Structure 1
Amino acid sequence: MAMPATPKPLRADTERTVRRILEAAERVLSANPAATMEQIAAAAGVARTTVHRRFASRDALITALAAWATQRFHEAVDAARPDTAPPAVALYQVTANVLRVKIGWSFAMGAVPTDVPEVAHVHAEVLAACERLFTRARDTGLLRPDTDLEWARRVYYALIHEAAAEAPASDAAVDALATRVVHTLLHGIGDSATA
Protein backbone atom coordinates (compact mmCIF):
# COMPACT_ATOMS: atom_id res chain seq x y z
CA MET A 1 0.00 0.00 0.00
CA ALA A 2 1.50 3.34 -1.05
CA MET A 3 1.89 6.07 1.53
CA PRO A 4 0.09 9.32 0.75
CA ALA A 5 2.38 11.99 -0.62
CA THR A 6 3.49 14.60 1.88
CA PRO A 7 2.38 18.04 0.70
CA LYS A 8 5.24 20.17 -0.55
CA PRO A 9 6.06 23.06 1.76
CA LEU A 10 4.83 26.39 0.45
CA ARG A 11 7.30 28.92 -0.87
CA ALA A 12 7.81 31.89 1.43
CA ASP A 13 5.88 34.31 -0.80
CA THR A 14 3.03 31.83 -1.21
CA GLU A 15 2.97 31.23 2.53
CA ARG A 16 2.74 35.00 3.15
CA THR A 17 -0.13 35.28 0.67
CA VAL A 18 -2.01 32.39 2.28
CA ARG A 19 -1.53 33.93 5.72
CA ARG A 20 -2.73 37.31 4.46
CA ILE A 21 -5.84 35.65 3.00
CA LEU A 22 -6.53 33.75 6.23
CA GLU A 23 -6.07 36.87 8.37
CA ALA A 24 -8.38 38.83 6.06
CA ALA A 25 -10.92 35.99 6.14
CA GLU A 26 -10.92 36.10 9.94
CA ARG A 27 -11.55 39.87 9.97
CA VAL A 28 -14.19 39.81 7.25
CA LEU A 29 -16.05 36.71 8.45
CA SER A 30 -16.04 37.93 12.06
CA ALA A 31 -17.84 41.06 10.90
CA ASN A 32 -20.07 39.27 8.37
CA PRO A 33 -20.23 35.44 8.43
CA ALA A 34 -21.96 35.49 5.03
CA ALA A 35 -19.11 37.40 3.35
CA THR A 36 -18.10 36.25 -0.11
CA MET A 37 -14.74 35.09 -1.41
CA GLU A 38 -14.59 38.35 -3.37
CA GLN A 39 -14.95 40.40 -0.17
CA ILE A 40 -12.22 38.33 1.47
CA ALA A 41 -9.93 38.81 -1.54
CA ALA A 42 -10.49 42.57 -1.44
CA ALA A 43 -9.69 42.69 2.30
CA ALA A 44 -6.53 40.64 1.68
CA GLY A 45 -5.48 42.93 -1.15
CA VAL A 46 -5.28 40.08 -3.65
CA ALA A 47 -7.18 39.14 -6.77
CA ARG A 48 -10.22 36.91 -6.41
CA THR A 49 -8.46 34.36 -8.63
CA THR A 50 -5.60 34.20 -6.11
CA VAL A 51 -8.01 33.22 -3.35
CA HIS A 52 -9.68 30.64 -5.62
CA ARG A 53 -6.27 29.25 -6.64
CA ARG A 54 -5.39 28.67 -2.97
CA PHE A 55 -8.84 27.57 -1.79
CA ALA A 56 -11.18 25.65 -4.09
CA SER A 57 -14.31 26.88 -2.33
CA ARG A 58 -15.56 29.03 0.51
CA ASP A 59 -15.91 25.88 2.62
CA ALA A 60 -12.30 24.96 1.86
CA LEU A 61 -11.21 28.44 2.97
CA ILE A 62 -13.18 28.17 6.22
CA THR A 63 -11.75 24.69 6.86
CA ALA A 64 -8.22 26.02 6.29
CA LEU A 65 -8.97 28.98 8.55
CA ALA A 66 -10.20 26.65 11.31
CA ALA A 67 -7.11 24.44 10.91
CA TRP A 68 -4.87 27.53 11.10
CA ALA A 69 -6.59 28.70 14.30
CA THR A 70 -6.38 25.22 15.82
CA GLN A 71 -2.64 25.20 15.21
CA ARG A 72 -2.31 28.67 16.82
CA PHE A 73 -4.29 27.32 19.80
CA HIS A 74 -1.91 24.38 20.15
CA GLU A 75 1.15 26.65 19.85
CA ALA A 76 -0.32 29.02 22.46
CA VAL A 77 -0.53 26.20 25.00
CA ASP A 78 2.92 24.82 24.15
CA ALA A 79 4.53 28.28 24.41
CA ALA A 80 3.41 28.49 28.05
CA ARG A 81 5.54 25.41 28.87
CA PRO A 82 2.77 23.71 30.87
CA ASP A 83 4.97 20.70 31.71
CA THR A 84 8.07 22.57 32.87
CA ALA A 85 7.28 26.13 34.01
CA PRO A 86 6.19 26.63 37.63
CA PRO A 87 2.45 25.79 37.68
CA ALA A 88 1.32 29.31 38.65
CA VAL A 89 3.38 30.84 35.84
CA ALA A 90 2.26 28.24 33.30
CA LEU A 91 -1.40 28.61 34.30
CA TYR A 92 -1.29 32.38 33.81
CA GLN A 93 0.66 32.13 30.53
CA VAL A 94 -1.62 29.43 29.09
CA THR A 95 -4.60 31.60 29.99
CA ALA A 96 -3.17 34.76 28.39
CA ASN A 97 -1.99 32.91 25.27
CA VAL A 98 -5.26 31.05 24.75
CA LEU A 99 -7.29 34.23 25.27
CA ARG A 100 -5.24 35.94 22.56
CA VAL A 101 -6.00 33.12 20.12
CA LYS A 102 -9.68 32.87 21.04
CA ILE A 103 -10.13 36.64 20.73
CA GLY A 104 -7.94 37.15 17.67
CA TRP A 105 -9.33 34.16 15.79
CA SER A 106 -12.89 34.10 17.18
CA PHE A 107 -14.63 33.25 13.92
CA ALA A 108 -12.15 30.50 13.10
CA MET A 109 -12.24 29.03 16.61
CA GLY A 110 -16.03 28.85 16.34
CA ALA A 111 -15.76 27.18 12.94
CA VAL A 112 -13.39 24.42 14.07
CA PRO A 113 -14.93 21.11 12.93
CA THR A 114 -14.97 18.57 15.73
CA ASP A 115 -15.10 15.55 13.39
CA VAL A 116 -11.79 16.18 11.60
CA PRO A 117 -9.15 13.75 12.95
CA GLU A 118 -6.32 16.30 12.87
CA VAL A 119 -8.39 18.81 14.88
CA ALA A 120 -9.48 16.13 17.34
CA HIS A 121 -5.83 15.11 17.79
CA VAL A 122 -4.73 18.69 18.51
CA HIS A 123 -7.57 19.18 20.99
CA ALA A 124 -6.69 15.90 22.71
CA GLU A 125 -3.07 17.05 23.07
CA VAL A 126 -4.17 20.41 24.51
CA LEU A 127 -6.56 18.74 26.97
CA ALA A 128 -3.83 16.31 28.06
CA ALA A 129 -1.41 19.21 28.63
CA CYS A 130 -4.04 21.01 30.69
CA GLU A 131 -4.70 17.86 32.71
CA ARG A 132 -0.98 17.51 33.47
CA LEU A 133 -0.75 21.20 34.42
CA PHE A 134 -3.69 20.94 36.82
CA THR A 135 -2.19 17.79 38.37
CA ARG A 136 1.11 19.64 38.88
CA ALA A 137 -0.80 22.61 40.34
CA ARG A 138 -2.47 20.31 42.87
CA ASP A 139 0.73 18.42 43.66
CA THR A 140 2.67 21.64 44.34
CA GLY A 141 -0.06 23.13 46.54
CA LEU A 142 -1.39 25.75 44.11
CA LEU A 143 -4.69 23.86 44.22
CA ARG A 144 -6.05 22.18 47.34
CA PRO A 145 -5.13 18.47 47.70
CA ASP A 146 -8.82 17.47 47.53
CA THR A 147 -9.53 19.44 44.33
CA ASP A 148 -11.69 17.61 41.82
CA LEU A 149 -9.39 18.21 38.86
CA GLU A 150 -11.97 17.42 36.19
CA TRP A 151 -14.39 19.93 37.70
CA ALA A 152 -11.62 22.52 38.10
CA ARG A 153 -10.67 22.19 34.43
CA ARG A 154 -14.30 22.51 33.32
CA VAL A 155 -14.68 25.67 35.41
CA TYR A 156 -11.41 27.00 33.97
CA TYR A 157 -12.55 26.37 30.39
CA ALA A 158 -15.86 28.13 31.13
CA LEU A 159 -14.01 31.12 32.61
CA ILE A 160 -11.82 31.36 29.51
CA HIS A 161 -14.85 31.10 27.25
CA GLU A 162 -16.63 33.90 29.09
CA ALA A 163 -13.49 36.05 29.24
CA ALA A 164 -12.92 35.67 25.48
CA ALA A 165 -16.45 36.94 24.86
CA GLU A 166 -15.36 40.32 26.29
CA ALA A 167 -12.88 40.71 23.38
CA PRO A 168 -10.56 43.32 24.92
CA ALA A 169 -8.75 45.47 22.39
CA SER A 170 -5.22 45.65 23.80
CA ASP A 171 -2.54 43.27 25.05
CA ALA A 172 -2.69 44.94 28.46
CA ALA A 173 -6.44 44.31 28.63
CA VAL A 174 -5.91 40.64 27.70
CA ASP A 175 -3.24 40.35 30.40
CA ALA A 176 -5.61 41.86 32.96
CA LEU A 177 -8.36 39.49 31.86
CA ALA A 178 -5.99 36.50 32.16
CA THR A 179 -5.09 37.62 35.68
CA ARG A 180 -8.79 37.87 36.52
CA VAL A 181 -9.50 34.36 35.17
CA VAL A 182 -6.62 32.79 37.12
CA HIS A 183 -7.51 34.71 40.29
CA THR A 184 -11.15 33.63 40.03
CA LEU A 185 -10.12 30.01 39.46
CA LEU A 186 -7.71 29.95 42.39
CA HIS A 187 -9.59 32.14 44.88
CA GLY A 188 -13.24 32.18 43.79
CA ILE A 189 -15.47 35.19 44.16
CA GLY A 190 -16.81 34.73 47.69
CA ASP A 191 -15.46 35.89 51.02
CA SER A 192 -13.44 32.95 52.35
CA ALA A 193 -13.97 34.17 55.92
CA THR A 194 -17.73 33.54 55.64
CA ALA A 195 -17.54 30.26 53.73
Structure 2
Amino acid sequence: MGEMAARPLRADAERSVRAVLEAAERVLAEDPGASMEQIAVAAGVARTTIHRRFANRQSLIEALALSAARQLAQAVDDGRPDTAPPLVAMHRITANVLQVKGAWAFALGLPADPDSEAAVLQQDIDRRCVAVLQRAQAEKVIDSAADLEWVRRVYYALIGESLRGNADGSDPDGADPDAAAARIIDTLLHGAGPRA
Protein backbone atom coordinates (compact mmCIF):
# COMPACT_ATOMS: atom_id res chain seq x y z
CA MET A 1 0.00 0.00 0.00
CA GLY A 2 2.75 2.44 1.00
CA GLU A 3 4.62 1.83 -2.26
CA MET A 4 1.46 2.45 -4.30
CA ALA A 5 1.05 5.83 -2.62
CA ALA A 6 4.70 6.73 -3.21
CA ARG A 7 4.59 6.16 -6.96
CA PRO A 8 2.29 9.09 -7.90
CA LEU A 9 4.29 11.31 -5.54
CA ARG A 10 7.51 10.39 -7.36
CA ALA A 11 5.89 11.11 -10.75
CA ASP A 12 4.57 14.39 -9.34
CA ALA A 13 8.03 15.31 -8.04
CA GLU A 14 9.55 14.52 -11.46
CA ARG A 15 6.91 16.71 -13.12
CA SER A 16 7.69 19.61 -10.79
CA VAL A 17 11.43 19.25 -11.44
CA ARG A 18 10.74 19.23 -15.19
CA ALA A 19 8.54 22.32 -14.81
CA VAL A 20 11.30 24.07 -12.84
CA LEU A 21 13.95 23.23 -15.47
CA GLU A 22 11.71 24.36 -18.34
CA ALA A 23 10.93 27.60 -16.48
CA ALA A 24 14.63 28.09 -15.67
CA GLU A 25 15.46 27.84 -19.40
CA ARG A 26 12.84 30.46 -20.29
CA VAL A 27 13.54 32.85 -17.41
CA LEU A 28 17.35 32.65 -17.53
CA ALA A 29 17.39 33.05 -21.32
CA GLU A 30 15.71 36.43 -20.80
CA ASP A 31 17.51 37.37 -17.57
CA PRO A 32 20.62 35.32 -16.70
CA GLY A 33 20.64 36.94 -13.24
CA ALA A 34 17.08 35.84 -12.37
CA SER A 35 16.55 34.50 -8.85
CA MET A 36 15.35 31.06 -7.83
CA GLU A 37 12.15 32.74 -6.63
CA GLN A 38 11.50 34.18 -10.11
CA ILE A 39 12.05 30.71 -11.59
CA ALA A 40 9.68 29.15 -9.02
CA VAL A 41 6.96 31.68 -9.94
CA ALA A 42 7.44 30.96 -13.67
CA ALA A 43 7.30 27.20 -12.97
CA GLY A 44 4.13 27.56 -10.90
CA VAL A 45 5.71 25.88 -7.87
CA ALA A 46 6.20 27.05 -4.30
CA ARG A 47 9.55 28.56 -3.32
CA THR A 48 9.96 25.73 -0.83
CA THR A 49 9.64 23.19 -3.67
CA ILE A 50 12.50 24.67 -5.66
CA HIS A 51 14.70 25.01 -2.55
CA ARG A 52 13.93 21.44 -1.45
CA ARG A 53 15.06 20.07 -4.84
CA PHE A 54 18.01 22.40 -5.50
CA ALA A 55 20.41 23.35 -2.70
CA ASN A 56 21.22 26.66 -4.38
CA ARG A 57 21.09 28.54 -7.68
CA GLN A 58 24.32 26.90 -8.89
CA SER A 59 22.91 23.39 -8.35
CA LEU A 60 19.79 24.40 -10.33
CA ILE A 61 21.96 25.69 -13.20
CA GLU A 62 24.07 22.49 -13.14
CA ALA A 63 20.89 20.38 -13.25
CA LEU A 64 19.61 22.50 -16.16
CA ALA A 65 22.87 22.00 -18.10
CA LEU A 66 22.85 18.26 -17.43
CA SER A 67 19.19 17.86 -18.41
CA ALA A 68 19.82 19.69 -21.69
CA ALA A 69 22.97 17.64 -22.40
CA ARG A 70 21.04 14.42 -21.79
CA GLN A 71 18.32 15.55 -24.19
CA LEU A 72 20.96 16.38 -26.79
CA ALA A 73 22.53 12.93 -26.36
CA GLN A 74 19.06 11.37 -26.74
CA ALA A 75 18.49 13.42 -29.91
CA VAL A 76 21.67 11.88 -31.34
CA ASP A 77 20.63 8.37 -30.22
CA ASP A 78 17.22 8.80 -31.83
CA GLY A 79 18.97 9.41 -35.18
CA ARG A 80 20.44 5.88 -34.98
CA PRO A 81 24.03 6.98 -35.66
CA ASP A 82 25.44 3.45 -35.57
CA THR A 83 22.86 1.62 -37.66
CA ALA A 84 21.00 3.95 -40.04
CA PRO A 85 22.60 4.65 -43.44
CA PRO A 86 25.05 7.56 -42.82
CA LEU A 87 23.10 10.19 -44.79
CA VAL A 88 19.83 9.17 -43.11
CA ALA A 89 21.50 9.26 -39.68
CA MET A 90 23.07 12.66 -40.41
CA HIS A 91 19.72 14.11 -41.48
CA ARG A 92 17.76 12.69 -38.53
CA ILE A 93 20.41 13.69 -36.00
CA THR A 94 20.62 17.21 -37.43
CA ALA A 95 16.83 17.73 -37.33
CA ASN A 96 16.67 16.33 -33.78
CA VAL A 97 19.61 18.43 -32.59
CA LEU A 98 18.12 21.60 -34.09
CA GLN A 99 14.94 21.04 -32.07
CA VAL A 100 16.77 20.38 -28.79
CA LYS A 101 19.25 23.23 -29.28
CA GLY A 102 16.40 25.57 -30.22
CA ALA A 103 14.45 24.68 -27.07
CA TRP A 104 17.43 24.63 -24.67
CA ALA A 105 19.74 27.32 -26.09
CA PHE A 106 20.52 28.92 -22.72
CA ALA A 107 21.28 25.63 -20.96
CA LEU A 108 23.40 24.29 -23.83
CA GLY A 109 25.33 27.55 -23.97
CA LEU A 110 26.45 27.28 -20.35
CA PRO A 111 30.17 26.56 -19.90
CA ALA A 112 30.46 23.00 -18.61
CA ASP A 113 32.92 22.01 -15.91
CA PRO A 114 35.33 19.65 -17.76
CA ASP A 115 34.69 16.90 -15.19
CA SER A 116 30.89 17.25 -15.24
CA GLU A 117 28.53 14.64 -16.65
CA ALA A 118 27.34 17.29 -19.15
CA ALA A 119 30.91 17.70 -20.48
CA VAL A 120 31.36 13.92 -20.72
CA LEU A 121 28.09 13.69 -22.67
CA GLN A 122 29.25 16.43 -25.06
CA GLN A 123 32.56 14.60 -25.65
CA ASP A 124 30.61 11.42 -26.40
CA ILE A 125 28.36 13.34 -28.84
CA ASP A 126 31.50 14.69 -30.59
CA ARG A 127 32.94 11.15 -30.82
CA ARG A 128 29.69 9.75 -32.21
CA CYS A 129 29.47 12.57 -34.75
CA VAL A 130 32.94 11.73 -36.06
CA ALA A 131 31.94 8.03 -36.18
CA VAL A 132 28.96 8.87 -38.43
CA LEU A 133 31.25 11.01 -40.61
CA GLN A 134 33.68 8.07 -40.85
CA ARG A 135 30.83 5.85 -42.04
CA ALA A 136 29.87 8.51 -44.61
CA GLN A 137 33.51 8.70 -45.71
CA ALA A 138 33.67 4.90 -46.08
CA GLU A 139 30.59 5.11 -48.34
CA LYS A 140 32.30 7.84 -50.43
CA VAL A 141 29.78 10.52 -49.38
CA ILE A 142 32.69 12.50 -47.89
CA ASP A 143 36.07 12.79 -49.61
CA SER A 144 38.59 10.19 -48.46
CA ALA A 145 41.17 12.92 -47.75
CA ALA A 146 38.82 15.08 -45.64
CA ASP A 147 39.89 15.90 -42.09
CA LEU A 148 36.85 14.62 -40.20
CA GLU A 149 37.53 16.69 -37.08
CA TRP A 150 37.40 19.80 -39.30
CA VAL A 151 34.23 18.51 -41.00
CA ARG A 152 32.67 18.04 -37.53
CA ARG A 153 33.56 21.60 -36.55
CA VAL A 154 32.11 23.00 -39.80
CA TYR A 155 28.97 20.91 -39.26
CA TYR A 156 28.54 22.30 -35.73
CA ALA A 157 29.09 25.84 -37.07
CA LEU A 158 26.38 25.30 -39.71
CA ILE A 159 23.96 24.14 -37.00
CA GLY A 160 24.84 27.20 -34.92
CA GLU A 161 24.31 29.57 -37.86
CA SER A 162 21.00 27.91 -38.72
CA LEU A 163 19.80 28.38 -35.13
CA ARG A 164 21.01 31.99 -35.07
CA GLY A 165 19.17 32.75 -38.33
CA ASN A 166 16.03 31.12 -36.95
CA ALA A 167 16.26 33.08 -33.68
CA ASP A 168 16.29 36.45 -35.42
CA GLY A 169 13.68 35.44 -38.03
CA SER A 170 16.03 35.86 -41.00
CA ASP A 171 15.94 32.16 -41.94
CA PRO A 172 12.65 31.10 -43.59
CA ASP A 173 13.63 27.40 -43.43
CA GLY A 174 14.74 27.66 -39.81
CA ALA A 175 11.32 26.91 -38.35
CA ASP A 176 11.22 23.53 -40.13
CA PRO A 177 13.91 21.25 -38.65
CA ASP A 178 13.76 18.89 -41.65
CA ALA A 179 14.25 21.71 -44.20
CA ALA A 180 17.03 23.22 -42.10
CA ALA A 181 18.69 19.81 -41.68
CA ALA A 182 18.55 19.18 -45.45
CA ARG A 183 20.19 22.54 -46.11
CA ILE A 184 22.87 21.98 -43.48
CA ILE A 185 23.78 18.53 -44.83
CA ASP A 186 23.72 19.80 -48.43
CA THR A 187 26.01 22.72 -47.53
CA LEU A 188 28.31 20.45 -45.51
CA LEU A 189 28.69 17.97 -48.38
CA HIS A 190 28.60 20.33 -51.38
CA GLY A 191 29.46 23.81 -50.13
CA ALA A 192 28.25 26.68 -52.28
CA GLY A 193 29.82 25.52 -55.53
CA PRO A 194 27.79 24.91 -58.70
CA ARG A 195 25.77 21.70 -58.83
CA ALA A 196 26.41 19.20 -61.59
Tell me whether the two structures share a fold, i.e. TM-score over 0.5. yes
What amino acid maps onto 1:87 in structure 2? P
Which stretches of structure 1, 4 residues or longer, exceed 4 Å deviation after superposition? 168-172
Give how far 1:192 is off: 5.3
Percent identity over the alignment is 52
| 1:92 counterpart residue number | 91
Question: Does the aligned pair in 1 maintain the 2:162–2:174 contact within 8 Å?
Answer: no
Q: Which runs of 5+ in 1 are unaligned?
A: 1-9
Deviation at residue 34 of structure 1 after TM alignment: 1.3
More deviation, 60-69/146-155: 146-155
Tell me the alpha carbon deviations over residues 66-111 of structure 1, each in whole angstroms, 9 at most, x when there is no partner.
0100100111111100110011110011111111111100010011
Report the Cα distance in structure 2 between the residues aligned to 1:101 and 1:34, rounded to whole angstroms. Answer: 23
Structure 2: unaligned runs, 5 residues or longer: 1-8
1:50 pairs with 2:53: no
RMSD (Å) for aligned C-alpha atoms: 2.0
1:184 aligns with 2:183: no
Number of residue pairs aligned between Structure 1 and Structure 2? 184
Structure 2 equivalent of residue 22 of structure 1: 21
Give the match for residue 7 of structure 1.
none
**What does residue 82 of structure 2 align with?**
83
- 2:32 is matched with 33
Matched with 2:6 is: none
On the 8 A contact 1:74/1:122 being kept in 2, the answer is yes
Structure 1 Cα separation of the partners of residues 64 and 119 of structure 2? 16
Select between 146-155 and 115-124 the one with higher mean Cα deviation.
115-124
| 2:4 paired residue number | none
> How far apart in 2 are the matches of 1:23 and 1:186?
35
TM-score, structure 2 normalization:
0.87
Letter in 2 for 1:180: R
